[in-house]
Amino acid sequence: MTQVLDLVGIFVFALSGALVGVRRRLDVVGMAVLASMTALGGGILRDLILDARPVAFTSVGYVVVPLAATVIVFFWHPHVLRVMPVVNVFDAAGLGLFCAVGTEKAMNAGFSPLHAVLLGVITAVGGGVLRDVLSGQVPILLYDRQFYAVPALLGSALMAALHVADLRGWPATLAAAVLTFGLRIAAVRFRLQAPLARGVAAQE
């Protein structure tokens, strides 16, 4: 169950990467690179920091799913764009799952709750940051004022708290993922905005 959700998250993140590739008029190689980095980059960073072999290099699905997303976007990107609202809902679900899994792995590796939360957030948002850096843009995460990292932070914090309270396994993962998902959807729905530094005017 978690594994299926995991691959769905990978798939949706890869779609977003491949679509950036289309928008920037990259060729098929660039699309595949962006799709893979968006989907796998966060987990690779996490596993390098945990000093573990990156999951992306042990699982067949992690290699094949981003390539499948690339093929779909290559041929049918106008249709994918049309269903983006649905894709964004799945993206929020992937965000929740990835931060919960990242936090859990870090706790199991003996990280303190504080650092496990940090690593959970990196797992969830790292791929998107790498996607933007590779496509020559300032990472959207840094300026768009949407709450994306903050839901992941709170979901990771819940995961760490449950782990400390000895509540583990899939119910904990589910709770953390659902909290992240709900906060993210609420932030989009109610157009919540992260503040700029005092006295800085919003960009037009």
* Smaller CB separation from a copy of itself, 25 or 189: 25
- In the complex with a copy of itself, the residue whose CB is nearer, 28 or 167, is 28
Q: Round to whole Å and give the CA distance between 95 and 100.
A: 9
Least separation in angstroms between CB 102 and a copy of itself: 12
Direct distance between the N- and C-terminal alpha carbons of the chain, in angstroms, rounded to an integer: 44
Q: How many CB atoms lie within 10 A of CB 57?
A: 11
- Least gap, CB of 204 to a copy of itself (angstroms): 11
**Shortest CA distance to 106 belongs to which of 53, 50, 43, 152?**
50
Nearer to a copy of itself, 13 or 148 (CB): 148
Applying CB under 8 A, the residues found at the interface with a copy of itself are: 21-22, 24-31, 33-34, 44, 48-49, 51, 53-54, 57-58, 60, 63, 73-78, 111-112, 114-115, 118-119, 129, 133-139, 141-145, 148-150, 193-200, 202-203
Q: What is the smallest separation between the CB atom of 122 and a copy of itself, expressed in angstroms?
A: 10
Residue 203: name the closest of 151, 152, 144 by CA. 144
CB of 32 to a copy of itself, least distance (A): 9
Output 108 or 193, the one with its CB closest to a copy of itself: 193
Minimum distance from residue 65 beta carbon to a copy of itself (Å): 13
Question: 3-state secondary structure string, 104-168?
Answer: HHHHHCCCCHHHHHHHHHHHHHHHHHHHHHHCCCCCHHHHCCCCCHHHHHHHHHHHHHHHHCCCC
